[in-house]
Amino acid sequence: MEPVQRKQRIFSGIQPTGVLTLGNYIGALRNFKLLEEEYNCVYSIVDLHAITVRQDPTALRKACFTVMSLYLAVGLDPDKSLIYFQSHVPQHAELAWVLNCFTYMGELSRMTQFKDKSQRHADNINAGLFTYPVLMAADILLYQTDLVPVGADQKQHLELARDVAERFNNLYGPVFVVPQPYIPKVGGRVMSLQDPARKMSKSDPEDTYIAMLDAPDVIRKKLRRAVTDSENCIRYDPENKPGVSNLMNILSTLTGMSYDQITLEYGSKGYGGFKNAVAEAVIEELKPIQARFKEYFADKAYLEQVMTASAQRAQAIAGRTMSKVRRRVGLAPTRL
Ligand code: ATP
Ligand code: LTN
């Protein structure tokens, strides 16, 4: 008889801040769906991470349900995957505290996202922003995660999570699975339409990103205005032609065309024709997602049912890890 193998576990999270971009979709969300069949997936809406920068409470609450609706709209199945709000599972914050005591200031000071965000929010460089990667490590380690699908910008955070897990395991024995990153080879980093040296980010001005919920005309307009170069030649060369290469990356991920095929097909059509093709591919991809989004977002009762059922199941898994951690660290067992 074949040995029964446990399906490997996936964990990932997206912050409910602003609108999700094509970068979030290509770097993360799209893969969430692709991995759902093969793995046990836990997909969180990481609201505790979102409050490391100041949020308007009403907008934050709405963004939480928006992201949950987008999770469902890309086709995630709540019977297979857990889809819940991070703050509904208190073990995330609890483990984060414990792991804070196993993470060094020096390690956190090296995080480029912290440096970047403290520049952008110079008036509010709070301790949460600094220890953000520890909460992220807690998210991942709580579920004994094997694989973490993220965009390339999160690689450094993931390495920290691995280091902290190994440090803890060396001290107390094998408590945590040490997670591996799952960063897509194509599409791992979608760049800004206006400054292709920077990643496409929902915290930047509107014309730099395509939002997953942008209308077709808006998508066409933003892509028409995307920065390229004056060479009028379609060739993949991220160093010398970052704008064109970024658009090729988007088109390639969405259509499956190779870079050579793209050069062959659009090389003679000029940047105008090429940008139109990218726009149509994006519109085509997002159209069904946007239609489903509308339905889910309008059905609050269903969203609440999903979030509650998933959080309950998540708490059961997270609670088991937390009991182990308490025992190993020497905290008295709770009878609550
Ligand atoms: P911000 O840009 O406001 O800091 P963010 O979009 O980076 O936020 P999240 O919403 O938490 O932060 O990101 C969710 C996921 O999307 C992460 O896995 C991240 O790696 C991925 N992601 C974000 N931007 C891009 C991008 N430009 N290209 C590829 N993946 C991305
Ligand atoms: N830090 C990530 C969001 C995030 C995450 C996670 C991703 C928080 N916890 C756990 C993967 C696994 C970001 O800023 N994109």
Taking only the tens place, the pLDDT of each residue in 291-308 is: 999 999 999 999 999 999
- Give the span between the Cα atoms of 141 and 177, in whole angstroms: 7
27, 14, 75: which is closest to 249 by C-alpha? 27
Contact 233, 166 (CB under 8 A): no
Is 202 known to be catalytic?
yes
Average pLDDT, the chain: 95
Quickly state the pLDDT bin for 151 (edges 50, 70, 90): confident
Least Cα distance to 247 among 311, 190, 195, 290 occurs for: 190
Residues having CB closer than 6 A to ligand 1 are 14-15, 17, 23-24, 26-28, 150-151, 153-154, 188-190, 199-203
Q: What pLDDT is stored for residue 35 in this prediction? A: 93
The predicted pLDDT at position 330 comes to 97
| Residue 336: predicted pLDDT | 73
**Which tens digit of pLDDT belongs to each residue from 224-249?**
999 999 998 999 999 999 999 999 99
Quick one: average pLDDT of 78-97?
98
Phi-psi region of 173 (alpha: psi -120 to 50; beta: other; left: phi over 0): left
Tell me: pLDDT of 160 over 70: yes
Q: 323 CA to middle of ligand 1, Å?
A: 32
User: Residue 1 above 90 pLDDT?
Assistant: no
* 145 contacts 177 by C-beta, under 8 angstroms: yes
Name the band, by pLDDT with cuts 50, 70 and 90, for residue 186. confident
Over 70: is that where the pLDDT of 180 sits? yes
- The catalytically annotated residue of 117, 222, 241, 275 is 117
pLDDT of residue 2: 59
Q: What is the pLDDT of residues 46-74, one digit of tens each?
A: 999 999 999 999 999 999 999 999 999 99
Q: Are strands 40-45 and 9-14 parallel, antiparallel or unpaired?
A: parallel
Percent share of the chain, pLDDT over 90: 89
Handedness of CA 149, 155, 157, 158 (dihedral sign): positive
List, in order, residues 6 or more apart from 171 with CB less than 8 Å away. Answer: 102
- The whole-number pLDDT of residue 333 equals 83
123 CA to centre of ligand 1 in angstroms: 23
For ligand 2, atom 11: residue with the closest CA: 12
Confidence category of residue 320, pLDDT binned at 50, 70, 90: very high
pLDDT class of 124 with cuts at 50, 70, 90: very high
**pLDDT: which is higher, 267 or 190:** 190
Q: For the whole model, what pTM was predicted? A: 0.94
pLDDT digits (tens, 9 = 90+) for 260-283: 999 999 988 899 999 999 999 999
From CA 185, how far away is CA 182, in angstroms rounded?
9
Using a pLDDT cut of 70, give the percent of the chain over it.
99
By the 8 A CB rule, do 108 and 61 touch? no
Q: Could you report the per-residue pLDDT of 2-42, keeping only the tens digit for each?
A: 566 779 999 999 999 988 999 999 999 999 999 998 999 99
The ligand minimizing its distance to the Cα of 179 is 2
- Ligand 2 site residues, Cβ closer than 6 angstroms: 11-13, 15, 46, 49, 136, 139-140, 148, 150, 154, 157
Quote the pLDDT of residue 202: 87
Q: Is 199 a catalytic residue?
A: yes
Q: Is 80 exceeded by the pLDDT of residue 209?
A: yes
pLDDT band at residue 97 under the 50/70/90 scheme:
very high
Task: Give residue 3's pLDDT.
Answer: 61
**Catalytic option among 33, 199, 275, 294:** 199
pLDDT given for residue 4 in this prediction: 64
pLDDT computed for residue 268 by the predictor: 83
> From the CA of 89, how far away is ligand 1's center (Å)?
22
Ligand 2 test: best mutation among 24, 45, 150, 182, most atoms within 8 Å of CB? 150
Q: How far is the CA of 151 from the centre of ligand 1 (A)?
A: 6
Name the strands in the sheet holding 180-182, side by side, starting at the edge strand that comes first in the sequence.
82-85, 40-45, 9-14, 147-149, 180-182
